[in-house]
Amino acid sequence: MATDNQENSIGLKQVWSWLISFVICTAKDAKKLGEEDPRRVIHSFKVGLAITLVSLFYYFDFSYQGFGVNAMWAVMTVVVVFEFSVGATLGKGVNRAIATLLGGGLGVAAHRLASFAGEKIECVILGMSVFFIASAVTFCRFFPKMKARFDYGLLIFILTFCLITVSGYRDDEVIDMAQRRLSTILIGGCATVFICMLICPVWAGEDLHKYTASSIEKLSIFLEGFGRAYFQVSNEKNQENNVASLDQYKTVLNSKGIEDSLVNFAKWEPRHGKFRYRQPWDQYLKIGSLSRECAYKIDAINSYLNSDAQTPVEIQKKIQEPCTKMSTECSYALRELAMGIKTMTCSLSADIHIVNAKASAKKLKSMLKNGRPEIDLLEIIPTFTVASLLIEVVSCTVKIADCVHELGSKSKFKSPDPVKMKKQTS
């Protein structure tokens, strides 16, 4: 007995210690998440507030008598529709409202038409209608444009139509049921949208704007330190720490999914802040695509930073000046473009840096064409590859600048202050 008690005590202590460590780790993770983005904490309280408010329809007798058990659909709507950003919430809310209305209306119509055929044929007609509608709408979900913006609505349409059609076979009060369900869903959706928009709103368009500028800035950070890191890495081993700090651009390589979702959400949002109703959100996708193209070029260049291939010092010194000039000028241009996007101001100094980068690229091209044929090609291929990639980075920078200027024209960015421009140039 004593041995059993000791074993039970040891087991309880192990469980208790595991529970304590789990709580501590969870608290640390929660603190980290809150510090990374405090809006997450606010969003959690907003969801809790919305669910509490719509739950009152179920708690109070006068509202419960009007809606009955269907009052729970308001709570379910809040849980399903409430998203982090206003655009995502509006997109889901509108999809759910329209899909519920259309699905419920079509379900009631199918039920009425089937009821005229008699009890024996009614179930056959209802089954056939469910089969054809569900199959057709499911196939529509495979269309890219439909899936991007209306996938949730199509899913809710199928669910509502099937629920109304199937349940209407056993329940004669199908119209009252559909009306109550639609009313509670609209109440939950409206409460969700109002709380999401009025209490510390998170705008997907604003996040997309900042994310695009941040991606361009990360490219500039790499290019700014690349010249020193590449041409000195073989002589100074202490440059390894600096090279490690240039890896921020790698987040740009996988930015497509984030940009696509933010653009999709931003298109649902009304006019807010500096962003107009018909903001050219697709232009941000073009900038993001060009930024990823530049990031892939930079990723290829980055692979040569720690390469073991030895290039003759004579060749390195010969191309060091134009290569460093190109990377530095492109870095300055991209930084100016990122700052222009952040402040929604047309950047004029970026064009100056691009002209300088083009001049260095032209100079480097002439050097590569007039290379000495007696040098071993295997020794110079890595350096010449880096030089060629830098020339392509200049071309990408030009494309990004043109796309940003187009965004500024469509979004009506402000013109820069000429007084500040004179101070910067002087």
Please provide the DSSP assignment of 292-305 as one string.
HHHHHHHHHHHTTT
Residue after which a domain boundary falls, among 165, 198, 231: 198
Q: What mean pLDDT comes out for the span 36-54?
A: 89
Give residue-wise pLDDT tens across range 183-220: 888 888 889 999 999 999 999 999 999 999 999 999 98
Per-residue DSSP letters for 357-372? HHHHHHHHHHHHHT--
Residue 75 vs residues 107, 171, 235, 410: alpha-carbon distances, Å? 23, 24, 66, 41
Residues 290 and 415 in one domain: yes
Residues 370 and 410 in one domain: yes
Residues 140 and 236 in one domain: no
Residue closest to 216 by CA, chosen among 399, 351, 358: 399
Residues 356 and 328 in one domain: yes
What pLDDT does 326 receive? 86
Residues 155 and 291 in one domain: no
CA 321 to CA 328: how far, in whole Å?
A: 11
Neighbour-count burial for 52-72, b at 16+ CB within 10 Å, e otherwise: ebbeebbeeeebeeebeebbb
Residue 419 vs residues 157, 256, 339, 349: alpha-carbon distances, Å? 58, 38, 18, 13
CA 325 to CA 129: how far, in whole Å?
A: 69
The sign of the dihedral angle between the CA atoms of 36, 42, 46, 47 is: positive
Which range (36-40, 95-99, 306-310, 407-411) has the least confidence?
306-310
Higher pLDDT, 379 or 246: 246
3-class DSSP assignment, residue 234: coil
Tokens of 45: 């309280």
394, exposed or middle or buried, with CB in 10 Å at 0-12, 13-18, 19+?
A: buried
179, exposed or middle or buried, with CB in 10 Å at 0-12, 13-18, 19+?
A: middle
Domain annotation covers residue 299? yes
Residues 79 and 184 in one domain: yes
Residues 208 and 354 in one domain: yes
Residue after which a domain boundary falls, among 198, 215, 239: 198
Residue after which a domain boundary falls, among 153, 174, 198: 198
What pLDDT does 318 receive? 75
Q: What mean pLDDT comes out for the span 364-391?
A: 69
Domain annotation covers residue 8? no
What pLDDT does 309 receive? 58
What is the CATH classification number for the domain harbouring 279? Answer: 1.20.58.220
Give residue-wise pLDDT tens across range 384-404: 788 888 889 999 999 999 999
Residue closest to 67 by CA, chosen among 212, 162, 207, 177: 177
* pLDDT above 80 for 283: yes
Residues 176 and 90 in one domain: yes
Give residue-wise pLDDT tens across range 19-28: 787 777 877 7
CA 6 to CA 125: how far, in whole Å?
A: 69
Domain annotation covers residue 12? no
* pLDDT above 90 for 139: yes
Neighbour-count burial for 282-310, b at 16+ CB within 10 Å, e otherwise: ebbbbbbbbbbbbbbbbbebbebbeeeee
Domain annotation covers residue 78? yes
Give the list of residues 6+ apart from residue 383 with CB closer than 8 angstroms, or none.
311, 315, 316, 319
What pLDDT does 203 receive? 92
Are 262 and 208 contacting, i.e. CB atoms less than 8 angstroms apart? yes
Domain annotation covers residue 2? no
Are 347 and 406 contacting, i.e. CB atoms less than 8 angstroms apart? no
Residues 192 and 213 in one domain: no
Residues 159 and 230 in one domain: no
Share of the chain above pLDDT 70, in %: 80
Q: What mean pLDDT comes out for the span 54-80?
A: 74
Give residue-wise pLDDT tens across range 162-178: 888 877 655 556 667 76
State the total domains in the chain. Answer: 2
Domain annotation covers residue 219? yes
* pLDDT above 50 for 104: yes
Q: Which domain holds residue 176?
A: 37-198
Domain annotation covers residue 22? no
Which range (4-13, 73-82, 131-140, 369-378) has the least confidence?
369-378
Residues 167 and 224 in one domain: no
* pLDDT above 50 for 426: no
Residues 340 and 406 in one domain: yes
Domain annotation covers residue 306? yes
